Amino acid sequence: MNFNIVQEKYIDETKQGEAFAIAEKPQNSKKLFLESYGCQMNFSDSEIVASILNEQGYNTTLKQEEADLILLNTCSIREKAEQTVRMRLSQFKNLKKEKPNLTVGVLGCMAERLKTKFLEEEQLVDLVVGPDAYRDLPNLLKETDGGRDAINVILSKEETYADINPVRLGGSGVTAFVTITRGCDNMCTFCVVPFTRGRERSRDPHSIIKECVDLWENGYKEITLLGQNVDSYLWYGGGAKKDFKNASEIQKLTAVKFSQLLDMVATAVPEMRIRFSTSNPHDMTTDVFEVMAKHKNICKYVHLPVQSGSDRMLEKMNRQHTRDEYLDLIAQAKKIVPEIAFSQDMIIGFCGETEEDHQMTLSLMREVGYDYGYMFAYSERPGTPAHKKMEDDVPADVKQRRLAEVIALQGELSRKRMQGYVGRIHEVLIEGTSKKNENQWKGRNSQNAVCVFDKLEGQKLGDIVSVMVHGNTQGTLLGTTVQSVSVEVN
Ligand code: SAH
Ligand code: F3S
């Protein structure tokens, strides 16, 4: 699996994480095995960690047996995700017996959530580091080298790792992630992210643009601007948004909001394809769509999680918008950017969800006509408002049945959307060789649909080619390269 394919937005939490390696410095003698779980943000953070450790004498490796340091960058979003990491940790037990000097560390959301409990419960973990403490890794490793356990789970209001040039792990050199915000202030009642990733903060736009320009100069052709909620990006000379007591204080400063940042990035790298994730219906404004319409290089695709189609559920989830407001936003987007595609996240079986609420979710999906979806049975997370105040009362079998219905409907909708792309010419960025056939390329169109087509002489990775789509499966477009372009989809 290639983590650069954005469609695989969240890695299947029942599967082992992914290890990537290319961080190399010839003078480095130590080996780091770094495995990532969860969302794109974690993969992006792993690139920062690899960069910091590259300066500390570590090159990355794909072979856990030859590692001096094993780090798992973990996810807490659902219980399953945590179970998978625990199982993985137990596999390192034997390795540690054979190699007493091996250090095993846990990074990311589980580290933040469980803190010292990790050192107490999981005897084989030597190092616990939360998402805002990666700069401290060199010091923490000095502790573990001295035979002591080490932990830093302090969350920061400022840390954006703005000045750290991430080592690009595992990609094909064509697509890259650029983090623009960290943390989340939204407090959806089901969500552990505000507790594990802390307060929301935005990265200096100058450093974002510099990173994008550097990527272009290094041959990258597509970037994804990343944040838990990109629409609430707001920069005004540093500091956390909430540090300013009133709006007039903010007014005095030169502020940059998300639509402006997007405009600036699209202008700075006019031939780079630009995507962004994740959008939030409460914080997204129509000026983002205006900017999308203005720039040909911004892909016409928005991942816009909604979680439920029922107002009752949306309120209990503290999503701060109604079903109608969401549908309005989608309608405006379609007006401003007619070729736009949407994907969703849904939580099925949240506290008190009735059959009627469930039907509202299905009808909302039909109304929007999503290209893709990421659907999850509700998993209660310790410490969240829902865990404290609500009852996880939808029986597991009901959750599973409703989930199956939602997944089946999304399958139908995806197939229909893919069929709509047939018979047209699409601009596709070549991202790699198809998994199923080495004589075929795979890439994505502007709407993020995966497209496979026969390789032609002279074509190479990173080319943007015109592909006539003549068929489809539920999630893939099948096409042929055409030489002359008469119609363009984006
Ligand atoms: N804004 C974030 C959301 C992170 S969580 C982003 O960048 O995508 C990703 C998705 O996991 C959410 O949209 C939600 O659909 C799902 N999720 C979050 N908490 C959950 C829980 N307790 N149980 C089941 N699914 C959950
Ligand atoms: Fe979680 Fe809601 Fe933020 S889903 S990441 S609290 S927008």
- Secondary structure of 394-460 as H, E, C letters: CCHHHHHHHHHHHHHHHHHHHHHHHHHHCCCEEEEEEEEECCCCCCEEEEECCCCCEEEEECCCCCC
What pLDDT, on the 0 to 100 scale, is given for residue 482? 93
What pLDDT, on the 0 to 100 scale, is given for residue 7? 40
Confidence of residue 242 (pLDDT cuts 50, 70, 90): very low
Q: What is the mean pLDDT of residues 117-127?
A: 84
The CA–CA distances, whole Å, from 229 to 140, 179, 246, 285 equal: 30, 11, 22, 13
Residue 361: pLDDT over 60: yes
- Does the CB atom of residue 193 touch ligand 1 within 6 A? yes
| Bigger pLDDT: 250 vs 421 | 421
Dist CA 327 CA 336 (whole Å): 14
Dist CA 32 CA 143 (whole Å): 17
Q: What is the mean pLDDT of residues 211-220?
A: 96
Q: What is the mean pLDDT of residues 116-136?
A: 90
* Residue in 315, 223, 319, 220 with CA at minimum distance from that of residue 262: 223
* CATH code 3.30.750.210 region(s) in the chain: 173-299
- Does the CB atom of residue 381 touch ligand 1 within 6 A? yes
| Bigger pLDDT: 169 vs 220 | 220
Dist CA 315 CA 40 (whole Å): 27
Is residue 40 a contact partner of residue 277, using CB atoms and an 8 Å limit?
yes
- Does the CB atom of residue 37 touch ligand 1 within 6 A? no
What pLDDT, on the 0 to 100 scale, is given for residue 86? 92
Residues with CB under 6 A from ligand 2: 184, 186-188, 191, 193-194, 228-229, 280
Which of 188, 308, 345 most suits a substitution to test ligand 2, by most atoms within 8 Å of the C-beta?
188
Instruction: Pick the residue whose CA is nearest to atom 18 on ligand 1.
Output: 191
CATH topology of domain 425-485: OB fold (Dihydrolipoamide Acetyltransferase, E2P) (2.40.50)
Dist CA 145 CA 164 (whole Å): 24
Q: What is the mean pLDDT of residues 308-329?
A: 98
Q: What is the mean pLDDT of residues 229-240?
A: 79
Query: What is the per-residue pLDDT across 397-441, written as a single tens digit (0 to 9) for each?
Result: 999 999 999 999 999 999 999 999 999 999 999 999 999 999 999
Dist CA 258 CA 279 (whole Å): 10
What is the dihedral angle through the alpha carbons of 132, 135, 138, 142, rounded to the nearest 10 degrees?
Answer: -40
Atom of ligand 1 at shortest range from CA of 278: 7
- Give me ligand 1 centre to Cα 379, in Å: 10
Instruction: Pick the residue whose CA is nearest to atom 7 on ligand 2.
Output: 186
Which of 181, 191, 380 most suits a substitution to test ligand 1, by most atoms within 8 Å of the C-beta?
191
Amino acid 244 reads F
* Residue in 453, 399, 405, 401 with CA at minimum distance from that of residue 425: 453
| Model confidence pTM above 0.85 | yes
Least confident among 77-91, 96-110, 160-174, 439-453: 160-174
Dist CA 376 CA 359 (whole Å): 16
Distance, C-alpha 169 to centroid of its chain? 15
Query: What is the per-residue pLDDT across 184-209, written as a single tens digit (0 to 9) for each?
Result: 999 999 999 999 999 999 999 999 99
Residue 278: pLDDT over 70: yes
Considering the four listed CATH numbers 3.40.50.1240, 3.40.50.12160, 1.10.3720.10, 3.90.79.10, the one that applies to the domain covering 6-152 is: 3.40.50.12160
Is residue 478 a contact partner of residue 470, using CB atoms and an 8 Å limit?
yes
Instruction: Pick the residue whose CA is nearest to atom 11 on ligand 1.
Output: 77
Q: What is the mean pLDDT of residues 293-310?
A: 98
- Does the CB atom of residue 228 touch ligand 1 within 6 A? yes
What pLDDT, on the 0 to 100 scale, is given for residue 248? 54
Tokens of 446: 């502007």
What pLDDT, on the 0 to 100 scale, is given for residue 28? 86
* CATH code 3.40.50.12160 region(s) in the chain: 6-152
What pLDDT, on the 0 to 100 scale, is given for residue 97? 86
Given the DSSP bridges, would you call strands 103-108 and 69-74 parallel, antiparallel or unpaired?
parallel
Which residues, 6+ apart, have CB-to-CB distance to 219 below 8 Å?
173, 174, 462
pLDDT averaged over every residue in the chain: 91
Residue 5: pLDDT over 80: no
- Does the CB atom of residue 305 touch ligand 1 within 6 A? yes
HEC letters along the chain: CCCCCCCCCCCCCCCCCEECCCCCCCCCCEEEEEEECCCHHHHHHHHHHHHHHHCCCEEECCCHHHCCEEEEEECCCCHHHHHHHHHHHHHHHHHHHHCCCCEEEEEEHHHHHHCHHHHHHCCCCCEEECCCCHHHHHHHHHHHHCCCCEEECCCCCCCCCCCCCCCCCCCCCCEEEEECEECCCCCCCCCCHHHHHCCCEECCHHHHHHHHHHHHHCCCCEEEEECCCHHHCEECCCCCHHHCCCHHHHHHCCCEEHHHHHHHHHHHCCCCEEEEECCCCCCCCHHHHHHHHHCCCECCEEECCCECCCHHHHHHCCCCCCHHHHHHHHHHHHHHCCCCEEEEEEEECCCCCCHHHHHHHHHHHHHHCCCEEEEEECCCCCCCHHHHHCCCCCCHHHHHHHHHHHHHHHHHHHHHHHHHHCCCEEEEEEEEECCCCCCEEEEECCCCCEEEEECCCCCCCCCEEEEEEEEECCCEEEEEECCCCCCCCC
Confidence of residue 10 (pLDDT cuts 50, 70, 90): low
* CATH code 2.40.50.140 region(s) in the chain: 425-485
What pLDDT, on the 0 to 100 scale, is given for residue 244? 45
Dist CA 196 CA 193 (whole Å): 5
- Give me ligand 2 centre to Cα 386, in Å: 13
What length does the chain have?
Answer: 490
Q: What is the CATH number of domain 173-299?
A: 3.30.750.210
- Does the CB atom of residue 190 touch ligand 1 within 6 A? yes
Which backbone phi and psi does 337 adopt, to 5 degrees?
A: -125, 80
For the chain, what percent of residues have pLDDT higher than 90?
A: 82
